[in-house]
Structure formats: structure tokens, C-alpha cells
Amino acid sequence: MSNQPVRTAVTVLLLIAASGFPGFGPGTAAAIDLVIIANPGVPETAIDSKDLQRIYLGKQTQWQDDTSIVPVMLKSGPLQEEFIGSFVDRSLQRFVTYWRQMVFTGKGIPPKSFGEELDLVDFVAGTPGAVGFTSKASDVSRVKILQVD
């Protein structure tokens, strides 16, 4: 008896995962354990992944109601790396290099960073216009969860 149908199915699934098809692979929101959070006063309930990229690269600085966007992130760890890879579409090294260049040329200030998720959530809850990310396991009762489109 041949295992060809099984090999074909496994090959197809591996190709789909490697291609970045939505819902598959390490670079997708479905593969990561994080949520995008915002201050409760932020008017948006959803955010486009391209807008997240623009926010974290300092290219989008205001919400639709003209409130300043205050992006925050974790200083290090797997959650930070997943967020940067999945939503900013950069490696951690490229992201750091980008912000070093922006600061050096006076074109921007990098997102404020926190060592602990609780501190990040507290900051987002208390800062108008703040947006960040945290693990799904964090207490997010005082912030708004933004759906990513």
C-alpha cells in the first residue's frame, strides 16, 4: 500500500504554512498569543495590520479623532519578537536599526518600552491615545482590545 496520498497532503500543508497563507505559519496573528490593546478612549475598535506597521514605524501619529497615538511595546522577549515580525514586518534587528537611524537623524522617537506586561497595560489604561500589545493571558479589563483586520 502506498503512502503517496499522505505525503501529498503533508507537502501541500507545509507549502501553505510556508507561504504565509492567512491562518497558517509563524508570521500570522493566528499563530501568536497576543492581543492589541488601546486606551479605552481610543475611538477605533479595529485596526488594519498596515496601520499597526505605520504606527510602530512612526509614520502614523494620530487616531481618526486627531488624538495623538502613543505606541508602547515590551522591551524584549518572544512576544516582542512575534509582534515586530508579524505586524511591523521586520526582524528585531531591522526594527532596532530603523529606530536608531530615525533618532540619529531627528526624525522620530521610538515607541516607549516596558519590561513587564502589567506595566505596559497600566500605562495604556492611563494614557490617552496609547496602543500596545500583551499576551492573551494578561488582565485587559481596563483597556480596549482592538480587532486586527
- For the segment 22-37, the average pLDDT, to the nearest whole number, is 59
- Domain 32-148 annotated CATH 3.40.190.10: yes
| Other beta carbons less than 10 A from residue 24's beta carbon | 17
Q: Which stretches does DSSP call E strand in the chain?
A: 34-38, 46-47, 70-74, 112-114, 130-135, 144-148
**Distance between CA atoms of residues 28 and 144, nearest Å:** 21
pLDDT at 1 over 90: no
pLDDT at 87 over 60: yes
Q: How many residues does the chain have?
A: 149
**Distance between CA atoms of residues 112 and 17, nearest Å:** 33
74: phi then psi, degrees, rounded to nearest 5: -80, 145
For the chain, the domains span 1-28, 32-148
- For the segment 34-56, the average pLDDT, to the nearest whole number, is 96
**Distance between CA atoms of residues 18 and 129, nearest Å:** 36
pTM: 0.78
- For the segment 58-64, the average pLDDT, to the nearest whole number, is 96
Instruction: Please tell me the predicted confidence (pLDDT) of residue 32.
Output: 62
